[in-house]
Amino acid sequence: MLAIARQRMLGQSFKKILPAVSVLRSYSSAAKQITVREALNSALDEEMLADPKVFLMGEEVGEYQGAYKITKGLLEKYGPERVLDTPITEAGFTGIGVGAAYYGLKPVVEFMTFNFSMQAIDHIINSAAKSNYMSAGQISVPIVFRGPNGAAAGVGAQHSQCYAAWYASCPGLKVLSPYNSEDARGLLKAAIRDPDPVVFLENELLYGESFPVSDEVLDSSFCLPIGKAKIEREGKDATITAFSKMVGYALKVSEMLEKDGICAEVINLRSIRPLDRATINASVRKTNRLITVEEGFPQHGVGAEICASVVEESFSYLDAPVERIAGADVPMPYAANLERMAVPQVEDIVRAAKRACYRSVPLAATA
């Protein structure tokens, strides 16, 4: 019922949200366009075909084809032994998945939303993340926990949290967050092939968005390295870091700033843990300014960690205070107007970038 209600709300709100995330992007020559949903589905299909140890489990992943149709067609192709519909018990099926990974299988566990992973956090943190260390390397746990993360549209405080910082604070886990179709395909393949547990944070508002991809991305051997960020747009005046849906916002901001003579560099983090500190610091040393963007809470957030890294390694290169743009430090409101105020908007990032470049108009001048 939750999935059906959410899909209806998305249908009503997506047209309003789409312009903010559908922005001009620079890619190499693209063979075709595919949606993020199709990219994830094809990655699962190809990895299941290549390795019989890979199997899927979660609520509605089989007969219903997935709550967001990410697993469409896979039950028919691989059968119920490799695409397992589970009861509504995250703690139960996540524990089974971790046990299967101990045994040498490669489970891909879907959460209908990562908010529900809180029911299973003991298995993720205390069992999956720590077993390799506690066994002195004798036990590997090749498991992927995937599903939509962060705010959707009108789903309230209990279904709108970003878990990037939560899981990235735990040693033993790798945390990935794709933005476009290339990210989704390459990172999910890397996650499934990795011998360690991976938390794979998607965004349901991006599932239906199409992105251009090259022939290389569509090749079955394509895989992206874990722990490596991508410079989506090069610049010289300010560095903007973002992940997931906020990358689209950052790219839109870079276009708007260009009209004011500010050339911003946009970094798509892709990997939250491990964090590509080298790429971030190299960019800041070139631009001398930093703006971090995320949907999650500001305190102890991903942006806070990035700022700390830059202050520790590149402080002498900074020509302005670092700027953090994050979600409001409150539970997510349900009302649409208040929800919009609680998550970062394009204009918030523009103002921060202009402050960093000393282009903002003083409040006294506007009085």
Residue closest to 306 by CA, chosen among 164, 195, 198: 164
63 a catalytic residue: no
Give the span between the Cα atoms of 21 and 131, in whole angstroms: 39
Q: For residue 70, what are its two tokens?
A: 């990410």
300 a catalytic residue: no
Find the catalytic residue in 90, 110, 182, 295: 90
Contact in structure between 94 and 145 (CB atoms under 8 Å): yes
Alpha carbon dihedral 198, 216, 43, 16, in 10-degree steps, equals 90
Q: Amino acid identity, residue 158?
A: Q
Tell me the β-bridge partners of 240. Answer: 266, 291
Q: For residue 55, what are its two tokens?
A: 């199997």
Q: For residue 93, what are its two tokens?
A: 């099926």
Taking each continuous run of H as one helix and of E as one strand, the counts in the chain are 15, 14
Instruction: Please identify which residue in the block is written with the tokens 């397992």.
Output: 84
Contact in structure between 284 and 146 (CB atoms under 8 Å): no
Find the catalytic residue in 159, 202, 209, 265: 159
Give the span between the Cα atoms of 154 and 117, in whole angstroms: 20
Q: What is the DSSP letter of 309?
A: H
Give the span between the Cα atoms of 347 and 353, in whole angstroms: 10
Give the span between the Cα atoms of 55 and 47, in whole angstroms: 9
Catalytic residues: 90, 159
